[in-house]
């Protein structure tokens, strides 16, 4: 990842727009970002992080986009960060604008605009930027994927916060684990620990659930077996529960089978007694039935005797009905012939009704002949029909020709009128094109003049502003010089006073018997005494520090005055002596003229398009004129042909229509006449036929009635029975015969007659004896069923318990295996000697890699003295795996990193940060990080160590990296030429680059 350019507007302390050219800064390999506290050095790093991830680093992240806005910005200026960079071989540009509370365009008050983001990629072959996404979350996810790092990892690896690594160097194992866990994303190993613990709990719950189900089956078996099965006194999950339950179940099943055998014996005895009682009851019931059957037969015989007269009358009626059935066919034939004759006569009357009076007396033959003559005349009209249809088609075609002629005349008039004004139209459009072309030429000329005018105006405004800044800078230089002289004079006074009383200061350390540091004497007879107002070493050093500080402030003020004068000279050289107001007026006039020329030139393309459309319209109109002329000549020839055909057809139709209005009307008259005559002839013949059939049917009916024994056909009809009467009479006769036969059969039975001679039977007593025997049988069967059900239920529950024990066996094995693994990864197992969790073990391996990578640079920074090593030793009650020690080559001993001095802690933490950056980079898939930032800490180094640290950082250029150092140390400004300075002021901070190639 290489940064190219950063633009910030109204962000953090920057009230206006500021630009950082990282390409120029990175050319030297090392560059310095410096400035006073609060000027905005860290805000530059915040802007980079915000552009990539949409949020600022760690403690500075508030979660509210409005907090990123500069308090110095104008109300109408929106906060924006734009970063251009290359990552994974792709040149990208990301722009982000946080939510903005701006003044309303209408009325008073404010309104909030939503956050906006844009990601673009540069297409090198096409030399254009292409939009990729406008989603805030999608852009952050895209950079997280491209860099292979989260925001936390990026802030630790690219923005190297030295304070954090100093704390990391001295932290305990738990604090180191938290930081390494965020950087190397070991959540998957922690998740593995969690999953194993959850699986152990789930497996344990399933084992307990299986044991609970086994105990529930045992309770059910105890309910079935009673006291024969004692329950084991074990809880779910305890060893031996399954064996105890299966043993108790076996005892219960044996006892239940013995009870079933006894119940079977009692049931057999009850079944024998019940069978004997049933046989006795059956005998008594049969005797009672035979006695009742004999009495009932005697009663039915008396009833038959009473109905004998009605039976004979029914027989007579049935006999006359059978004779009348011989006459029934002749009767049905006569009725059918009569109905048919009446229907035919009525149809004939209806058919003759519409006919003229000339056909009233005509018979069937006359009517048929008249129908044939009308049909022949109808057939002769077919040719006339076709002629009449063709005449109608000719009329339609002539009407169409008339319509087409009128339409063509309209087209001719419209086209002629439009073409008459073509020359004027073309001249007007050409004039518009010429005018727009002139405006386009004028706008290009004005565009060349705009940029110099704007630059000159900007330089004039800068000149005016810098003129005032120069006066202020001169006053500050004078004030700084006075302050430096005063503090130096004060220091020299204190130094002189201290030198005057140095004897008393030395005498304060004299001890009897010890040699004097000045003269070497061991006796001190009259040591000097401190006088009032004595100046000690600390007071002198404070005065010296104040003097040096005043010198630095004077130097800084002089430098700033030089910068302002250089800027003023540059602005004056470009703007000249012209007043700013005149330059502004000239620039505004150029802008107005340019805008007007652009507006006039914008009509060029529409005028060209309108001219092309007008030319196409002219061609279309001319084509319409030619087509209309051809169509007019064709219509004249067609009209002559149609007029000749019309005259011929009208002469033919006049003969065919006769008195009718049309051929169709004449054909309709003939068709109706043929239909009426044909229908009348058919109905007349049908009436004659039905009259003859009715006469024949009357003769056959009279003959059939005489042969059947009836005096008249009417008598035979009266004796005839319908189906219901016939069935009813036959049913009565059949019932009489059946009843008579049944009574005789019963009275003739020997068993029935013998039973009638015995005493009356008593079925109630026999039923009571049988009911008692049946109750004893049901009791025995219920006892046998209960014993059988108990055995079956105990067998079923025992089999289920056995199956449950079989299923639980592999689950218990799985639980033991998972429990061992969970304890091992959690560090609570006896097999885990160092009590290391899985996540700590992985982090320990990462820490070992980091220590090895950091040692390479630490040895150079410490001139080969120090080496970082990883330790697995436990500390106190904590777990082992994340210890970090330093080996001192001068003593050969390993000691804690907390024993390092301030400067040693700085370069050790710097080496650790660089090593961690390399390891995290490799972990992220080898993403190349070409730009790094190091934040503060250099002030604790001496000159030699500072040189060695800078040599290490400068060596990063061998990997084509650039390193930005964020520091207040003044010596770095002399050592590092490429600088980015943050300068704060009342109107906000500004950024200045210098020494960049």
In this prediction, what percent of the chain has a pLDDT beyond 70?
A: 80
Per residue in 131-150, pLDDT (tens digit) is: 999 888 889 888 888 877 77
What is the pLDDT averaged over residues 602-611? Answer: 82
Residue-averaged pLDDT of the chain: 76
CB 700 within 8 A of CB 364: no
Helices (H), 708-762: 713-719, 723-748, 750-757
**Model pLDDT, residue 396:** 83
Which pLDDT does position 63 carry in this prediction?
Answer: 43
Ranges of beta strands (E only) in 819-978 are 866-871, 883-888, 893-896, 931-935, 962-966
Confidence of residue 64 (pLDDT cuts 50, 70, 90): very low
The answer, yes or no, to whether residue 6 has pLDDT greater than 90, is: yes
- Cα–Cα distance measured from residue 491 to residue 544, given in angstroms and rounded to the nearest whole number: 6
Q: Which two tokens stand for residue 414?
A: 């419209």
Give the integer Cα–Cα distance in Å for 671 and 513: 169
Quick one: average pLDDT of 9-22? 90
How far apart, in whole angstroms, are the C-alpha atoms of residue 54 and residue 51?
A: 6
Q: Which of 134-148, 436-450, 846-860, 913-927 has the lowest mean pLDDT?
A: 913-927
Residue 88: band (very low, low, confident or very high) from pLDDT cuts 50, 70, 90: confident
| Interatomic CA distance for residues 160 and 728, integer angstroms | 121
What pLDDT, on a 0 to 100 scale, did the predictor assign at position 66?
A: 43
pLDDT band for position 293 (cuts 50, 70, 90): confident
Contacts of 997 (CB under 8 A, 6+ apart): 24, 27, 28, 978
Phi, psi for residue 344 in degrees, rounded to 5 = -70, -40
Residues 731-741 pLDDT 10s = 877 788 787 78
Q: What is the pLDDT of residues 829-854, one digit of tens each?
A: 666 666 667 666 777 777 778 778 77
Tell me what the mean pLDDT of segment 343-368 comes to. Answer: 77
pLDDT tens digits, 684-732: 788 788 888 778 877 777 777 777 777 777 777 777 777 787 787 778 7
Tell me, what's the pLDDT at 928?
Answer: 62
CA 104 – CA 353 distance, rounded (Å): 99
pLDDT, residue 878, reads 47
The answer to whether 972 and 981 are in contact (CB under 8 A) is: no
Question: Does this model's pTM top 0.75?
Answer: no
* Average pLDDT for 423-446: 81
pLDDT tens digit sequence for 226-280: 665 667 666 666 666 777 777 777 777 777 777 778 878 887 887 888 888 788 8
Mean per-residue pLDDT for 311-336?
A: 76
* 900-909, 936-945, 959-968: range with lowest mean pLDDT: 936-945
Tell me the average pLDDT across 188-216. 74
Residue 926 has a pLDDT of: 47
Q: Which residue has the higher pLDDT, 563 or 218?
A: 563
For residue 433, name the pLDDT band (cuts at 50, 70, 90). confident
- Taking alpha carbons only, the member of 433, 449, 452 closest to residue 594 is 449
Asked whether residue 858 carries a pLDDT value surpassing 50, the answer given is: yes
Is the pLDDT at 763 greater than 70, yes or no?
yes
Q: CA-to-CA distance for 115 and 134, rounded, in angstroms?
A: 10
Give me the sign of the Cα torsion angle 324, 330, 332, 335.
negative
Instruction: Supply the pLDDT for residue 24.
Output: 86
**For residue 605, pLDDT beyond 70:** yes
817 has a pLDDT exceeding 80: no
How many angstroms separate the CA atoms of 964 and 981, rounded? 12
Residue 65 has pLDDT above 50, yes or no: no
- Which one, of 154, 149, 119, 145, lies nearest residue 49 by Cα? 154
DSSP string across 581-595: HHHHHHHHHHHHHHH
**Gap between the Cα atoms of 476 and 556, Å rounded:** 10
Comparing 674 with 658, which gets the higher pLDDT? 674
* pLDDT surpasses 90 at 312: no
> Hey, what are 303's tokens?
């009833």
pLDDT at 8 over 90: yes
pLDDT for 200 = 75
pLDDT of 807 higher than 80: no
């Amino acid at each position: 990842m290489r940064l190219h350019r950063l633009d910030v507007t109204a962000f953090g302390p920057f009230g206006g727009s500021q630009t950082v050219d990282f390409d120029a800064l990175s050319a030297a390999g090392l560059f310095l970002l410096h400035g006073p506290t609060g000027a905005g050095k860290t805000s530059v790093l915040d802007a980079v992080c915000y552009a990539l991830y949409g949020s600022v680093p760690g403690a500075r992240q508030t979660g509210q986009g409005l907090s990123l806005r500069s308090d110095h910005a104008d109300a109408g200026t929106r906060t924006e960060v734009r970063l251009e960079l290359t990552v994974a071989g792709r040149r990208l540009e990301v722009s982000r604008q946080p939510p903005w509370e701006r003044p309303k365009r209408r009325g008073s008050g404010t309104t909030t605009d939503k956050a906006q983001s844009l990601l673009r990629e540069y297409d090198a072959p096409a030399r254009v930027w292409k939009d990729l996404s406008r989603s805030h979350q999608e852009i952050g996810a895209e950079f997280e994927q491209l860099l292979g790092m989260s925001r936390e990892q990026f802030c630790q690896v690219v923005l190297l916060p030295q304070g954090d690594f100093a704390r990391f160097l001295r932290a305990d194992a738990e604090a180191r684990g938290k930081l390494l866990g965020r950087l190397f994303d070991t959540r998957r190993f922690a998740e593995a620990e969690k999953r194993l613990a959850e699986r152990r709990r789930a497996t344990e719950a399933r084992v307990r659930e299986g044991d609970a189900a086994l105990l529930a089956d045992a309770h059910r078996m105890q309910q079935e077996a009673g006291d024969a099965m004692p329950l084991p006194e074990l809880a779910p999950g305890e060893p031996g529960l399954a064996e105890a339950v299966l043993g108790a179940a076996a005892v219960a099943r044996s006892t239940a089978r013995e009870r079933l055998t006894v119940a079977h014996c009692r049931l057999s005895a009850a079944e024998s007694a019940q069978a004997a009682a049933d046989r006795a009851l059956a005998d008594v019931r049969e005797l009672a039935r035979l006695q009742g059957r004999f009495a009932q037969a005697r009663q039915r015989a008396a009833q038959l005797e009473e109905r004998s007269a009605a039976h004979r009358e029914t027989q007579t009626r049935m006999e006359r009905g059978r004779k009348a059935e011989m006459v029934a066919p002749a009767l049905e034939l006569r009725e059918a012939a009569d109905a048919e004759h009446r229907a035919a006569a009525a149809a004939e009357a209806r058919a003759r009704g519409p006919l003229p009076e000339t056909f009233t007396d005509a018979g069937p033959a006359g009517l048929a002949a008249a129908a044939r003559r009308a049909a022949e005349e109808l057939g002769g009209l077919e040719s006339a029909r076709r002629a009449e249809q063709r005449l109608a088609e000719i009329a339609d075609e002539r009407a169409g020709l008339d319509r087409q002629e009128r339409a063509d005349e309209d087209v001719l008039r419209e086209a002629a009128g439009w073409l008459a004004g073509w020359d004027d139209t073309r001249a007007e459009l050409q004039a518009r094109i010429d005018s727009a072309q002139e405006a386009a030429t004028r706008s290009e000329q004005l565009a060349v003049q705009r940029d110099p005018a704007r630059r000159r105006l900007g330089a004039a405004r800068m000149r005016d502003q810098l003129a005032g800044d120069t006066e202020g800078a001169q006053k500050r230089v004078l004030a700084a010089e006075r302050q430096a002289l005063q503090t130096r004079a004060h220091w020299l006074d204190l130094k002189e006073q201290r030198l005057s009383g140095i004897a008393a200061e030395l005498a304060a350390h004299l001890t009897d018997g010890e040699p004097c540091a000045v003269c070497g004497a061991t006796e001190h007879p009259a040591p000097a005494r401190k006088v009032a107002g004595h100046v000690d070493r600390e007071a002198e050093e404070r005065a010296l520090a104040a003097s040096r500080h005043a010198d630095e402030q004077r130097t800084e003020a002089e430098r700033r005055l030089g910068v302002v004068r250089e800027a003023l000279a540059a602005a004056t050289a470009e703007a000249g002596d012209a007043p700013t107001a005149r330059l502004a007026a000239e620039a505004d006039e150029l802008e107005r003229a340019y805008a007007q020329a652009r507006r006039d030139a914008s009509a060029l393309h529409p005028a060209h398009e309108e001219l092309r459309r007008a030319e196409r319209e002219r061609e279309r109109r001319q084509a319409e004129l030619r087509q209309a002329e051809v169509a007019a000549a064709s219509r004249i020839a067609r009209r002559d042909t149609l007029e000749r055909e019309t005259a011929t057809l009208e002469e033919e139709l006049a003969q065919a229509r006769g008195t009718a209005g049309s051929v169709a009307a004449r054909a309709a008259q003939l068709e109706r006449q043929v239909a009426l005559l044909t229908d009348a002839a058919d109905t007349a013949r049908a009436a004659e036929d039905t009259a003859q059939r009715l006469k024949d049917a009357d003769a056959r009916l009279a003959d059939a009635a005489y042969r059947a024994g009836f005096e008249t056909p009417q008598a035979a009809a009266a004796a005839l029975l319908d189906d219901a009467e016939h069935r009813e009479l036959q049913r009565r006769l059949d019932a009489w015969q059946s009843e008579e036969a049944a009574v005789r059969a019963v009275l003739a039975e020997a068993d029935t007659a013998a039973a009638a001679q015995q005493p009356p039977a008593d079925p109630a007593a026999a039923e009571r004896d049988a009911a008692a025997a049946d109750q004893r049988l049901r009791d025995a069967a219920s006892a046998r069923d209960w014993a059988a059900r108990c055995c079956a239920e105990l067998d079923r529950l025992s089999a289920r318990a056995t199956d449950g024990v079989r299923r639980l066996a592999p689950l218990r094995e799985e639980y033991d295996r998972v429990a061992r693994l969970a304890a091992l990864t959690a560090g609570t197992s006896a097999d885990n000697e160092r009590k290391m969790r899985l996540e700590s073990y992985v982090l320990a391996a990462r820490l070992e890699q980091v220590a090895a990578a950091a040692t390479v640079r630490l040895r150079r920074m410490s001139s080969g003295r120090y080496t970082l090593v990883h330790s697995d030793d436990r500390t106190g009650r904590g777990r082992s795996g994340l210890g970090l020690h330093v080996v001192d080559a001068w003593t050969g001993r390993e000691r804690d990193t907390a024993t390092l001095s301030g400067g040693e802690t700085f370069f050790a933490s710097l080496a650790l940060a660089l090593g961690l950056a390399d390891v995290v980079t490799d972990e992220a898939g080898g993403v190349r990080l070409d730009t790094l930032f190091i934040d503060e800490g250099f002030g604790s180094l001496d000159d030699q160590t500072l040189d060695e640290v800078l040599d290490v950082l400068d060596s990063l250029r061998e990997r084509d990296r650039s390193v930005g150092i964020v520091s207040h140390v003044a010596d770095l400004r002399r050592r590092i030429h490429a600088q980015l300075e943050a300068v704060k002021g009342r109107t906000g901070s500004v950024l200045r680059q210098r020494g960049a190639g």
